[in-house]
Amino acid sequence: MQFKHPEILWALFLLVIPIIIHLFQLRRFQKTPFTNVAMLQKVVAESRKSNSLKKWLLLFTRLLLLAALVMAFAQPFTSKETAFKPMETVIYLDNSFSMQARNNGISQLERAVQDVIKSMDAKTVFSLFTNEDSFANVTLADIENNLLSMPFTYKQLSLDEINLKASTLFTKSPESIKNLIILSDFQENMAPSTAGIDSTITSFAVPMRIRESKNISIDSVALQDPSADPALLQVFLSGGSPDENVPVSVYNGPNLIAKSAAQFDETSRTSVVFSIPANQEINGKLTIADNALGFDNTFYFNIDSREKLKVLAIGNTGSDYLNRLFTNDEFELQKVELNQLDYSALEKQQVVVLDNLDQIPVSLQQALRSFTANGGSLIIIPSPEADLNTYNSLLTAFSNTRLSEKVNTTSKVTTITYDHPIYRNVFERRVTNFEYPTVNQYFKIRTGLPTILGLEGGDAFLVGLNGLYLFTTSLENGSTNFKSSPVIVPTFYNMAQSSFKMPELYHELGRQSNVTVAVQLGNDNTLKVAKEGYEFIPMQQVYPNQVNLTFDQIPNEDGIYSIENNGQTLKHISFNYPRDESQLSYLDLATFKNLTIEESIPSLFEDLEADNNIAAYWKWFVILALLLALIEVIIQKFVS
């Protein structure tokens, strides 16, 4: 027991005064009765005994009364050791999409907000942060409106990030008690790097979870064969029960273009394939009906009409094999002799083919270096009489590549690097009975570029990667019959397509993604990205014939956005929320050290309040004093 005014306890020494008075009264002289009153001696003795008992009762009552008054004025109380230490409270309120899960028609985020408002003292100063916002040293009145209108977000802090953020909101005082309250459903993606929580902070966890953790999600989409007509769009879903049918609808803008039903297997996953028009612009939206989480019931994608790639062939204009490879439906092929080349035309091209040149002038070498540095693709087919000095002068800048002596030996192309990006998804299986092309002469090569096609004996026929491709021989009939081989079509087609990446169907918010737009911008122009009145300028790198856009932290809302130049829409791009929280799988909090698990928010605040409470007893001592005063009156009146 502790006392608010312990100095008053010195007044207890005053209890000696009534004791002394009582003792003096007991020392009075005793009278001896004479014979004539001897018969009354017995009666007088009994009266004296009764009077002595009354005096002792009054003494003890008055002593207790005085002691009770002294104790009341000293104000005794009891409390825990932490009650007098300054207390700091920081609350993490999870507003990620998984908190959309509902119990009895109310989301877990709404329930958490209501419980905090009802349970916390309105005068308490605390700090609160969410996955996006932070409020330091506030009261409920300061942020109540923010709490009631708090939006959901795709962002989710891990427990490590929560501890780090909370430490910045606590003071550095070692004397204060630091309470961190974590209100979340504790999805598995919140797992910390270690199994412990910061021991310098008293951490409380209130799991906000629903009874039935089931949620159906549209996870991703993919085109099975982009060149097919009609195109096949495959939609991947998860979270359903076996034999459960879920309607899936596909929209192009506001128009419904297809509908099907997804049936799940034992793994709770499935896919649905839709036929959609090929080579047509589609601003697509997929929807399902699901009563659990709402953020993953819609999925956006877009397919833009294909842009024709601009190909410039420099050299042998008499050969027509490039015309057959780069057809008018997908390419704009321009062929020009070296002596008629306009160097300024290179800036407008995406692919340049050096076809059977005897030499490469220095001026063309400089222009080609600038062309490849700006994202263009270069395909080099040397002449049998090539001036290797001019070729090597250009090639040494690319992975230290050099052509050496000519080999006049007949050889076959026997090696196909199936894993190379040029041939990825070209062959259904690795061919063993292939009719290999024949090469009559070729140049040996030293390079750091990977081999795409190899000759028997280990020499290379075609090498290259990321915008530079080099044949080691001329493709004229006297040097090889490669023109007659069926593999020439995917080889040249994919080498040209590598200069301009096929646009992705969609992108995920919060994760860095890059988009290439074929456009020529003026010096002061920038591309803008817009959706329904909201627009922003992303990071961009401008090249002569294209612009590379980089998206990271913006935008922060899903949907289909348009990429615009001076108000003109160039193409569309789709963003979707990450699906990390769709599965509703939770952490086992019992495995974490230094973490106290509470059943509910009200019970947590009751426990915290109890730890801070002071039990005062002065009122009870006042009541006791009143009772003792009443007892004294009773003794005076009824005890004789």
Query: Could you report the per-residue pLDDT of 155-209, keeping only the tens digit for each?
Result: 888 888 888 888 888 888 777 778 888 898 888 888 877 655 666 778 888 888 8
DSSP state, 6?
G
Interval 361-373 mean pLDDT: 87
What distances in angstroms separate CA 606 from CA 121, 208, 500, 610, one per listed residue?
11, 18, 63, 6
pLDDT in tens, 510-545: 888 888 887 877 777 888 999 887 888 888 888 777
- Look up residue 415 and give its amino acid: T
What is the pLDDT, as a whole number, of residue 600?
A: 85
- Look up residue 598 and give its amino acid: E
User: Mean pLDDT highest for which of 23-37, 383-397, 422-436, 518-532?
Assistant: 383-397
Cβ atoms 474, 480 nearer than 8 A? yes
What distances in angstroms separate CA 349 from CA 70, 113, 313, 343, 493, one per listed residue?
100, 58, 10, 11, 16
Dihedral over alpha carbons 435, 441, 444, 445 (to 10 degrees): -60
What is the pLDDT, as a whole number, of residue 25?
A: 63
Q: Which residue has the higher pLDDT, 79 or 367?
A: 367
In angstroms, rounded to a whole number, what is the distance separating the alpha carbons of residues 324 and 320?
A: 7
Task: Identify the structural domains of the chain with CATH numbers, from first to last.
Answer: 2-74+616-638 (no CATH), 83-212+584-598 (3.40.50.410), 309-497 (3.40.50.880), 507-576 (2.60.40.10)
pLDDT in tens, 540-562: 888 777 788 888 888 888 899 98
DSSP secondary structure letters along 128-194: EE-SS-EEEEE-HHHHHHHHHTPPPBS----HHHHHHHHHHHS-S-SSSEEEEEEEE--BGGG--SS
What is the pLDDT, as a whole number, of residue 436?
A: 81
What is the pLDDT, as a whole number, of residue 50?
A: 61
* Residue 463 confidence class, pLDDT cut points 50, 70, 90: very high
In angstroms, rounded to a whole number, what is the distance separating the alpha carbons of residues 160 and 189?
A: 11
Nearest Cα neighbor of 183 from 215, 208, 203 is 208
User: pTM score, two decimals?
Assistant: 0.62
Is pLDDT above 90 for 115?
A: no
Interval 454-461 mean pLDDT: 90
Distance of CA 426 to the CA centre of its chain: 36
Cβ atoms 518, 546 nearer than 8 A? yes
* Residue 129 confidence class, pLDDT cut points 50, 70, 90: very high
Q: List the beta bridge partners of residue 507.
A: 575
Cβ atoms 509, 575 nearer than 8 A? yes
Is pLDDT above 90 for 300?
A: yes
Which range has the worst mean pLDDT, 207-211, 229-233, 431-435?
Answer: 431-435
pLDDT in tens, 600-623: 888 887 777 765 656 666 787 788
Is pLDDT above 60 for 43?
A: no
